[in-house]
Amino acid sequence: MSDAFEVSYVTLHGHRRAYVKAGNGPVLLLLHGLGCDHTTWSPVIERLARKYTVIAPDLLGHGESDKPRADYSVGGYANGMRDLLTVLGIDRVTVVGHSLGGGVAMQFAYQFPDRTQRLILVSPGGLGPEVTPAIRMITTPGFHQAMGLVTLPVLRQATTESLRLLSRSRIPHTRDLDEMAAVVETFRDPRTRAAIRHVVRAVVDWRGQIVTMADRAYLTEAIPTFLIWGTDDGVIPASHAATAVALAPGLRLELIPDCGHFPHKDHPERFVRIVNQFMRSTQPAVYHRGRFRAMLKAGPRPIAVQAEAGHSPVSPIESLSPA
């Protein structure tokens, strides 16, 4: 479990950043989702550290990192990850991004293709507008004050216990509510509430996700990319996976049944097998400025052209054999 690893700190641009570093070997940069922190990777970080150097930061505004009034855009987060890696003396990484972290991972690969070896996207944001109403509510007026009341001791306990009970009920679209309960616990800190509100407003409005990577997904042709999604995801629908496969030539996909928004928590052993097999079966991307320039000039191919070239707009599910 990641709790066995010491949390380290580095100050970048005047703000303290927390991270865990463990293991040896090729570097995996693990980016958590909205309202989470590095401990979301607790079920898998120790196993991954047996083969890889694992860097698991708390994004700015989350966990033990500072929560200033700052740039909480996906581009800003990607810049922060570049700077963290630079300070740690790490040049190139495989980026593993979950939910919001998936959007940051895609942005990192777009901004810094020379530093990106592979992409592993886990239930990522940025591939369609749909998102749970619970996240859209964070953008509404009065959220900060209302959550301040909800997180008063008695109400907080009642709310979190109710969410965890529902998550065990097997009622459709409720399995991820235990994770929402953990997020509610963090909202006791008004600095966290303010930071999360800034994050959400940068990527979501009342109609859903406003930041999309769809127009740049074709650039993953130059970077080995794997997409992991739970079929029972109640936060971001797994149907977005078909969009990703249609837009990103060569992307590999595994849909995991009986799995919600957190595949690394619902099925940690399977998650580690997927990562291990993907790392073994692919070579790290090598950045070529000329190739990148040519891809940018050509732009994305129409989906019909991709289908003619053998890239189906309707995704076949690639099942991985146990490693």
Looking at residue 302, its pLDDT comes to: 67
- Indicate whether 104 pLDDT > 50: yes
Average pLDDT, whole number, for the chain?
A: 86
Q: Does any domain span residue 183?
A: no
Calculate the CA 255 to chain-centre distance.
16
Mean pLDDT confidence for 138-161: 78
Looking at residue 111, its pLDDT comes to: 92
Whole-number Å distance between alpha carbons of 228 and 318: 10
**Using an 8 Å Cβ cutoff, are 94 and 25 in contact?**
no
Q: Could you tell me which of 279, 262, 311, 263 has the C-alpha nearest to residue 118? A: 279
Q: Which of 37, 176, 233, 266 is catalytic?
A: 233
Under the banding of pLDDT at 50, 70 and 90, the label for residue 323 is very low
Counted domains in the chain? 1
Q: Does any domain span residue 77?
A: yes
Q: Does any domain span residue 316?
A: no
**Strand (E) positions, 138-289?**
204-205, 208-209, 225-230, 252-256
Q: Does any domain span residue 68?
A: yes
- The yes-or-no answer on residue 73 being catalytic is no
**What secondary structure does DSSP assign to 58-93, as a single string?**
--TTSTTS---S---SHHHHHHHHHHHHHHTT---E
Task: Give the domain CATH number at 24.
Answer: 3.40.50.1820
Q: What pLDDT digit, counting tens, does each position of 270-289 carry?
A: 999 999 999 999 999 999 99
Measured CA to CA in angstroms, residue 86 lies from 10, 91, 120, 138 at distances of 11, 7, 21, 33
Q: What pLDDT digit, counting tens, does each position of 163-201 carry?
A: 788 778 777 777 888 887 888 888 888 888 888 888 988
Q: Does any domain span residue 14?
A: yes
pTM over the 0.75 mark:
yes
Whole-number Å distance between alpha carbons of 59 and 56: 9
Q: Which of 2, 42, 65, 99 is catalytic?
A: 99
Whole-number Å distance between alpha carbons of 261 and 233: 4
Q: Does any domain span residue 60?
A: yes
- The yes-or-no answer on residue 288 being catalytic is no
Looking at residue 173, its pLDDT comes to: 73
Under the banding of pLDDT at 50, 70 and 90, the label for residue 304 is very low
End-to-end CA distance of the chain: 21
Q: Which residue has the tokens 């009622």?
A: 171
Task: Show the domain range for 254.
Answer: 2-132+207-308
Looking at residue 1, its pLDDT comes to: 41
Q: Which residue has the tokens 């200033």?
A: 68
CB atoms inside a 10 Å sphere around CB 140: 11
Looking at residue 3, its pLDDT comes to: 54
Beta pairing, strands 204-205 & 208-209:
antiparallel
Measured CA to CA in angstroms, residue 234 lies from 31, 101, 128, 174 at distances of 20, 17, 14, 7
Mean pLDDT confidence for 214-230: 88
Taking the CA atoms of the chain, what radius of gyration do you get in angstroms? 19
One-letter amino acid for residue 320 of the chain? L
Q: Does any domain span residue 212?
A: yes
- The yes-or-no answer on residue 205 being catalytic is no
Q: Which of 38, 261, 264, 267 is catalytic?
A: 261
Q: Could you tell me which of 137, 127, 128 has the C-alpha nearest to residue 200? A: 137
- Indicate whether 2 pLDDT > 80: no
- Indicate whether 63 pLDDT > 50: yes
Long-range contacts of 85-92 (CB under 8 A, 24+ apart): 85/29, 85/55, 85/115, 87/10, 87/12, 88/10, 88/21, 88/55, 90/27, 90/53, 90/55, 91/115, 92/27, 92/116, 92/117, 92/284
Whole-number Å distance between alpha carbons of 94 and 276: 12
Q: Does any domain span residue 40?
A: yes
